[in-house]
């Protein structure tokens, strides 16, 4: 089978792109690429998860790895176990924020980091020879799974007297999230509590409107939502009969309070212009990277930044012993809420995000027509440049980029004035559609 294995592995429709044979070969390939040693396997709550996880385990055992089966566990917990136990790596069966009809396979290396290019290439090579039978039975052993009770992403957080609505997205954090928050002293009302057939459906971090409504309905102080595998976060703060939603940019703004001049915060090309301007006014340098947590992490390392993230709610931290590897929704929630609910409300009230408008323009063949080696092909970039420059002169910002998975060009225009954002987006969309790319 020919499969491209990216930094987040492979993801698709169960029974079409994702099946037991693929899972077996990913397990086998991970054992070959990461071994010798122990591989940890975990999954979220999707109905397809148990069978796919067992196929991964069977492949890993055939590849010579010893295996621990963590069962249902968030991706950040898998990364923590791999790092703390010194395992060779791990495989997470998840499609993250996708719905239950999809699933996927994500590989972590020793230390809990996502698979690098060398490991991914080795796994792809094993997948390419999947028509070749592997002789013999299991060469590895199934070992007892460690206790995840010592995974404490909210350690040090004090939420006594705080009422929290927690939306577990019907995913891997549906039980551990409320447990950790109650251990921090919070009164917790839990929603999205474990029906894997409804994972991410009208719930979780991708539906902050549902979280905001629940916070108001239950008269809670705070709402916290993660996605299906627990690496993405949304927060709402209730104020009277309304609730204010914090995306990843607002969280970065809140966390940056008190950073001295010359410090750095890392965002992406999609981060809000208001975040950049607010930080720069406070003397904090804001550095943008390409979209993706791997790019954000590289930017953090290159600029010696303590934290960075994306508007989607993927935030990462570095420099402290307890910092997770990669993005962890519960850890981020603990750091943001550690500011204090009242101060957090005040900090968010000070945030002045620009108005963003988004559109997607479908093209005949994005990978043949619009995408070059480093993004948009020069002809397409030249087409949009005069309009984008005019918007920038008027105080706005434009991002035009190809989708990595579909024949679509994604357009974003932001401006402090709503009509400028609306008209700028309309002009760019009309321009792109008029050329019939």
How many CB atoms within 10 Å of residue 64? Answer: 15
Enumerate the CATH 3.40.120.10 domain ranges in the chain, comma separated.
10-146, 160-246, 249-350
For residue 436, the model assigns a pLDDT of 56
**Contact at 8 Å (CB) between 3 and 105?**
no
CATH of region 160-246: 3.40.120.10
Q: Per CATH, is 249-350 categorized as 3.40.190.10?
A: no
Judge whether 168 and 193 are in contact, CB under 8 Å: yes
- CA–CA dist 149, 360 (Å, integer): 44
pLDDT in tens, the chain (437 residues): 667 777 788 999 999 999 999 999 999 999 999 989 999 999 999 999 999 999 999 999 999 999 999 999 999 999 999 999 999 999 999 999 999 999 999 999 999 999 998 999 999 998 888 767 676 778 899 999 999 999 999 999 999 999 999 999 999 999 999 999 999 999 999 999 989 999 999 999 999 999 999 999 999 999 999 999 999 999 999 988 889 999 999 999 999 998 988 899 999 999 999 999 999 999 999 999 998 888 999 999 999 999 999 999 999 999 998 899 899 999 999 999 999 999 999 999 999 999 999 999 987 654 445 554 446 778 788 889 999 999 999 999 999 988 766 678 889 999 999 999 999 999 999 998 876 55
- Write the CB contacts of 15 (distance below 8 Å, at least 6 apart in sequence): none
Q: Quote the tokens at residue 356.
A: 């963003």
CA dist., res. 25 & res. 132, Å (int): 11
> Could you tell me which residues come within 8 angstroms of residue 265 by beta carbon, excluding any fewer than 6 positions away?
252, 256, 259, 279, 284, 285, 286, 287, 305, 307, 308
Domain spanning 10-146: which CATH class is it, in words?
alpha beta
Residue positions annotated with a catalytic role: 96
* The CATH homologous superfamily of the domain defined by 355-434: Alpha-D-phosphohexomutase, C-terminal domain (3.30.310.50)
Cβ distance 82 to 70 under 8 Å? Answer: no
| Spatial CA neighbour of 72 closest among 89, 51, 49 | 49
What is the pLDDT, as a whole number, of residue 380? 81
């Amino acid at each position: 089978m020919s499969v491209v294995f990216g930094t987040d592995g492979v993801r698709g429709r169960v029974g079409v792109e994702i099946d037991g044979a693929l899972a077996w070969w990913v397990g086998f390939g991970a054992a070959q690429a990461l071994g010798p040693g122990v591989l940890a396997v975990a999954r979220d709550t999707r109905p397809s998860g148990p069978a796919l996880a067992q196929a991964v385990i069977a492949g890993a055992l055939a590849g010579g790895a010893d295996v621990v089966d963590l069962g249902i566990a968030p991706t950040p917990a898998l990364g923590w176990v791999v790092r703390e136990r010194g395992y060779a790596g791990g495989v997470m069966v998840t499609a993250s924020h996708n719905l239950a009809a999809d699933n996927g396979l994500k590989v972590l290396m020793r230390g809990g980091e996502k698979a690098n290019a060398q490991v991914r290439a080795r796994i792809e090579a094993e997948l390419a020879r999947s028509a070749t039978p592997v002789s013999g039975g299991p060469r590895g052993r199934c070992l007892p799974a460690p206790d995840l009770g010592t995974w404490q992403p909210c350690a040090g957080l004090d939420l006594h007297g705080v009422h929290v609505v927690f939306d577990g997205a019907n995913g891997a954090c549906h039980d551990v999230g409320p447990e950790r928050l109650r251990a921090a002293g919070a009164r917790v009302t839990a929603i999205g509590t474990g029906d894997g057939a409804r994972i991410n459906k009208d719930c979780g971090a991708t539906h902050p409107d549902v979280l905001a409504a629940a916070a108001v309905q239950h008269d809670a102080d705070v709402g916290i939502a993660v996605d299906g595998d627990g690496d993405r976060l949304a927060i709402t703060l209730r104020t009277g009969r309304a609730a204010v939603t914090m995306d990843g940019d607002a969280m970065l703004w809140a966390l940056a309070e008190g950073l001295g001049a010359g410090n750095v915060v890392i965002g992406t090309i999609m981060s809000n212009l208001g975040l950049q301007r607010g930080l720069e006014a406070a003397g904090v340098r804001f550095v943008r990277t390409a979209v993706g947590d791997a790019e954000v992490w590289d930017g953090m390392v290159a600029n010696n930044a303590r934290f960075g993230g994306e508007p989607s709610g993927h935030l990462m931290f570095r420099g402290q012993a307890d910092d997770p590897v990669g993005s962890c929704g519960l850890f981020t929630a603990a750091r943001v809420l550690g500011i204090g609910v009242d101060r957090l409300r005040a900090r968010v009230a000070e945030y002045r995000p620009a108005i963003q408008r988004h559109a997607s323009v479908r093209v005949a063949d994005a990978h043949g027509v619009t995408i070059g080696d480093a993004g948009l092909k020069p002809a397409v970039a030249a087409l949009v440049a005069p309009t984008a420059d005019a918007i920038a002169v008027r105080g706005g910002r434009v991002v035009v980029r190809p989708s990595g998975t579909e024949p679509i060009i994604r357009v974003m225009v932001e401006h402090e004035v709503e009509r400028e954002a609306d008209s700028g987006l309309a002009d760019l969309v009309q321009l792109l559609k008029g050329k019939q790319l």
